[in-house]
Amino acid sequence: MLSQFIWWGSDALEVLLLIRAWQCGLLRRYPLFYGYIFFVVVQDVPRFLTLRWNENAYGYVYWTTEYLAVAAGCAVVFETYRIALYSYPGAARIIRNVLMFVFAMAFAKGLANVTSFHQWWEEATALGVERTVRTVQGIAIIALVSLFLAYSIPFGKNLRGILLGYSLFIAGRVICLTFVAPQGRDFWFYAYSGSYVVVLSLWLVHLWSYYPVPEARTRGNLERDYRTLAAATQRRLRGISGFLRKAVLS
């Protein structure tokens, strides 16, 4: 009963999110994010039909669509990165390097899994694979959000909502997948599905209307000369270090 409620509740919220996006013109501003939501809505159709007509094949259909959703989720992270850092080429470069490193690690880990797991469709193995992939996504988001915080990148309400919601979704998934049992329905099973309803509500609040991403304040040419700027910052920090030493040793 509860799982039915979560299922239909999630679908209703997803459809409402898509309708609002179409009404406010958010669809063309965040196409990958709404593409992801659309995919999540559509994937329920084959899942539902398989559950109804051929229950034995449900595992295959579920995990195929789940892995495709994971791949679509990576596109959401990419869209956040692309839009938020459009005006910040320097920060974008650093984040690109970090993400490339994280995804190279993920690729290596994935390759190792392919060679060690031969039965991807078995419940326990599939849960383990999803947990691994979600963990890598989590690491990528941690890197992205840390650099956003370090460089004080402004988001705007819409993008902040997408990032907060998706990060919460990944954090919830990773934690639940650590504890959820491969068979049966315990607390973590419901937490796993129920957390998505919370995420959808968060998205709905942040994406009810369009809010522009704040423009980057353009600075002078001197500040754009990175080497001069870096040298000045290092000099200032060294100055503070000397000041601290002098004060304590006086």
Partner 1 sequence: MMALSSLIVGVVLLLLLLAVAVKGSLALRETPELAGSDESGQEACPPEFVSKIFSHDDWSYVRGMKSTGLEKLFRKERKSVALVWVRQTSSGIRRIMREHAAAARQSSNLEPPTELKIFLQFAALLMTCGAMRAGIHVAGPLWVGGLARFAQNLVQQVAEAERAFELATREHEMDAMSSL
Q: Which residue, 25 or 212, is less far from partner 1 as judged by CB?
A: 212
- The answer to whether 124 contacts partner 1 (rule: CB under 8 A) is no
Q: Which residue, 54 or 233, is less far from partner 1 as judged by CB?
A: 233
- The answer to whether 178 contacts partner 1 (rule: CB under 8 A) is yes
- The answer to whether 100 contacts partner 1 (rule: CB under 8 A) is no
- The answer to whether 47 contacts partner 1 (rule: CB under 8 A) is no
Stretch that binds partner 1, among 6-14, 25-33, 175-183, 203-211 (CB under 8 A): 175-183
Query: What is the maximum alpha-carbon separation in the chain?
Result: 83
Closest by Cα among 30, 116, 17, 41 to 79: 30
- The answer to whether 221 contacts partner 1 (rule: CB under 8 A) is no
- The answer to whether 120 contacts partner 1 (rule: CB under 8 A) is no
- The answer to whether 6 contacts partner 1 (rule: CB under 8 A) is no
Per CB under 8 A, contacts with partner 1 among 48-77 are none
Stretch that binds partner 1, among 15-23, 58-66, 117-125, 150-158 (CB under 8 A): 150-158
Q: Which residues bind partner 1 (CB under 8 A)?
A: 87-91, 93-94, 97, 128, 131-132, 134-135, 138-139, 141-142, 145-146, 148-153, 160, 163-164, 167-168, 170-175, 177-178, 216-219, 223-227, 229-230, 233-234, 236-238, 240-241, 243-250
